[in-house]
Amino acid sequence: MELAGRVVLVTGASRGIGAATCTALTRRGAVVVAAGRDETALAEVAASSTVVADAADPAAAPALVAAAVDRHGRLDAVVANAGLGWAGEFAAMDPARITELVDVNLRAPMLLARAALPVLRRPGALVLVTSIAGLVGVPGETVYSVTKAGLETFATLLREETDGVTVSTVAPGAVATGFFVARGVPYDRRFPRPIPPSRVAEAVVEAIATGRERRVEPRWLAFPARLSAAAPRTYRALARRFS
DSSP for 114-155 reads HHHTTTPPSSEEEEEE--HHHHH--TT-HHHHHHHHHHHHHH
For residues 140 and 179, give the distance between their C-alpha atoms in angstroms, rounded to a whole number. Answer: 15
Are 35 and 53 contacting, i.e. CB atoms less than 8 angstroms apart? yes
Q: Which of 144, 154, 179, 235 is flagged as catalytic?
A: 144
DSSP for 172-228 reads E-SBSSTHHHHHTS----SSSPPBPHHHHHHHHHHHHHH--SEEEESGGGHHHHHHH
For residues 210 and 203, give the distance between their C-alpha atoms in angstroms, rounded to a whole number. Answer: 10
The answer to whether residue 235 is catalytic is no
Crossing angle of helices 16-27 and 197-210, rounded to 10°: 50
Amino acid at 146: V
**Active-site amino acid positions:** 144
